[in-house]
Amino acid sequence: MCWRKDFTSGNLTIERVYPITGLPPGAATGSQLADWIRGHWKIENLLHHVRDRTFRKDASKIHVGHLPRIMAGPRNLAIGVHRQDGHTSIAAALRHTARDWRRPLTAPGTTG
């Protein structure tokens, strides 16, 4: 269950979520299911949320054929390089890198 409070209206919303697996009943414990769900949201928050918010993926005009998937590659690369470099805020890392064109070339693993 997820509880959300809208601070402008004061309304409280309760969302009930039912995870679905291909496992037979009783094959996984509640804590295992919770770990899997947390693992899913970790990926969602570390990658997809950054692509959606920082790179404004949903506002992109690229919607034809394989182009959205192709554009995900450089975005994922940028996120991965900055995470490997120890940055927790990808937006701040991108702003810092954009100030000097040589900075992306000094990221870990990108120079010989």
The answer on pLDDT for 18 being more than 60 is yes
User: Residue 109: what pLDDT?
Assistant: 60
Q: How many CB atoms lie under 10 A from the CB of residue 69? A: 9
- Phi/psi at 35 (nearest 5 deg)? -60, -40
Query: Domain boundaries in the chain?
Result: 28-106
**Contacts (Cβ under 8 Å, ≥6 apart) of 104:** 81, 97, 110
Exposure string of 87-108, with b = 16+ CB inside 10 Å and e = fewer, is beebeebbeebeeeeeeeeebe
Tell me how far apart the alpha carbons of residues 57 and 75 are, in angstroms, rounded to a whole number: 9
Structure confidence at residue 92 (pLDDT): 92
pLDDT tens column, 25-43: 889 888 888 888 888 777 7
Average pLDDT, whole number, for the chain? Answer: 82
Q: Which residue has the higher pLDDT, 33 or 103?
A: 33
Whether the pLDDT of residue 112 is over 70: the answer is no
Which candidate, 80, 83, 102, 73, places its Cα nearest to that of 111? Answer: 102
